[in-house]
Structure 1
Amino acid sequence: MILKLISCEIFYREMCAAVAKSPHRVDIEFLPKGLHDLPPGEMPARVQEVIDTVPDDTYDAILLGYGLCNNGVAGITARTCPLILPRAHDCITLFLGSRQRYREIFDANPGTYFLTSGWLERGETSGDLADLSVQQQLGMNRSMEDLIDQYGEDNAKYLYETLCNGTKNYSRFMWIPMGVEPESMLQAAKEKTAEHDWKLETVPGDMQLINDLINGNWNEENFLAVPPGSTIQACHNDRIVSY
């Protein structure tokens, strides 16, 4: 098969590793991390623009390297060839290999921020995406000093804890090695943990979902195949997405 992969750059190393071993030809296009932080409707519109530039009659399918991502793929329409996407709420499902495993680890580890090579290398949103993000528009990225200057110390403390301190309910990082990153990534994870004075735990990643996406193993349990002319929808059950 000849496939087109449109993926969030958070999967850069993992997708490239999978494509290198795939029996199929896969043309890759990465989009910047942070689309899911844009106001509602912006992410699907941007991904749709890329899909609409894919030449007709060139590919057997377009693969989406995304989870549902805060409804970021809901509303995307397949044009002339099928869209294939994982049944996943977000990217961590793909890093852990299944939504069942993600749920087990998530439920057993409250207050955990997950780290992968992509989150260490590309986790900071910058440029126009940062300026357009919901966080920026609501003032969630402002410093305590900036808030004090505008609102006074007491009001600033309340606003900071309410709007700006997005990590106040977290106490640990969980490092997910995928087997495709250099060993130095563990040291980077340790340094980030020290900055926050949190705990660091490690849970092995699983390339199964990523490999299945790239290799064409699209079983209905784990993947949605959207036929031409149909539109991705979020569904409020374990299937996560439908059309």
Structure 2
Amino acid sequence: MKLSLLACSPLQPYLSRLLDNCPNQVDVTYLPQEKLCAQEQLFTAIKEYIDGVRDSDGIILTTGVCGMETFALQAGEVPLIIPRVHNCISLILGNADHYRAMFEKYSGNLAWYLPSYPEILFCGAKEDCQCLAYLADTQLNIPDSSLSARVAAAAKQLDFIQVESDSSLLARLVYGKWCSDDILVTPPHGAVTASFDRRLITHFDL
């Protein structure tokens, strides 16, 4: 299959390794970090990307529900494939339930540090953050950045924890294994929006 994939830049080390042995032809576009900060900007960037894809068997949006809390996305001629996750962190944790459990445990006051990515990722207000979680890779041989994460946590006076990542959901997306409850496939000319329940996203016909 020929696939088009839109991803946030922290996923680059994961995708570069997964695509080495991928049977599909996957054209990857990375969103600039500044586009991830505002929901309206992110939605606009996703919509423009969808509108620009023509010759493809599917558009994979690794952003999950992020950017769709207020707006609905419409598929064009190409189906949309979207994981039922909150954001790229939820995707790298392997499922929405793991992310939800950690979010609730720390009351949302949690930041993230990914291997081979130099910036702390905040999913809430920076001033409320209490803990920095490092996502340790044990599957793809991504160079370890835990020491840098510990230094960053100490510099910002944050607690530090290490959590094992799970790239299996991301792998299923690029390998075309979409027949599961944690991946939503929206047919051409359908629409997808936030469901505001544990499914996170749902689609409907226009």
Please give the range of the TM-score, normalised by the shorter of the 2 chains: 0.7 to 0.9
Specify the alignment match of 1:222 in structure 2: 182
Structure having greater relative contact order (Cα 8 Å, sep ≥ 6):
1
**Secondary structure, aligned partner of 1:62:** strand
Q: Say whether 1:45 aligns with 2:44.
A: yes
- Evaluate the alpha carbon distance shift between residue 219 and residue 73 of structure 1 in structure 2; reply closer, same or farther with a 3 A threshold: farther
How far 1:11 moved relative to its partner? 1.0
How far 1:79 moved relative to its partner? 0.9
How far 1:239 moved relative to its partner? 1.0
Q: Say whether 1:191 aligns with 2:190.
A: no
Gaps of 5+ in 2: none
110, 113, 121: which one aligns with 1:112: 110
- Identity fraction in percent: 24
Relative to total residues, which structure has the larger helix share, 1 or 2?
Answer: 1
- In the alignment, the residues of structure 2 paired with residue 242 and residue 73 of structure 1 have an alpha-carbon distance, to the nearest angstrom, of 13
Q: Say whether 1:88 aligns with 2:85.
A: yes
Deviations 1:149-168, CA, capped at 9 Å, x for gaps: xxxxxxxxxxxxxxxx9333
164, 175, 195: which one aligns with 2:134: 175
Specify the alignment match of 1:153 in structure 2: none
Gaps of 5+ in 1: 125-164
Relative to total residues, which structure has the larger strand share, 1 or 2?
Answer: 2
**Secondary structure, aligned partner of 1:232:** strand
Deviates more, 1:8-17 or 1:199-208: 8-17
Instruction: Name which one, 1 or 2, has greater alpha-carbon Rg.
Output: 1
TM-score (norm 1): 0.74
**Secondary structure, aligned partner of 2:198:** coil
How far 1:70 moved relative to its partner? 4.7
Structure 1 residue identity aligned to 2:154: A
Specify the alignment match of 1:26 in structure 2: 26
- In the alignment, the residues of structure 1 paired with residue 130 and residue 90 of structure 2 have an alpha-carbon distance, to the nearest angstrom, of 21
Specify the alignment match of 1:144 in structure 2: none
- Which stretches of structure 1, 4 residues or more, deviate above 4 A after TM superposition? none
Equivalences, count: 199
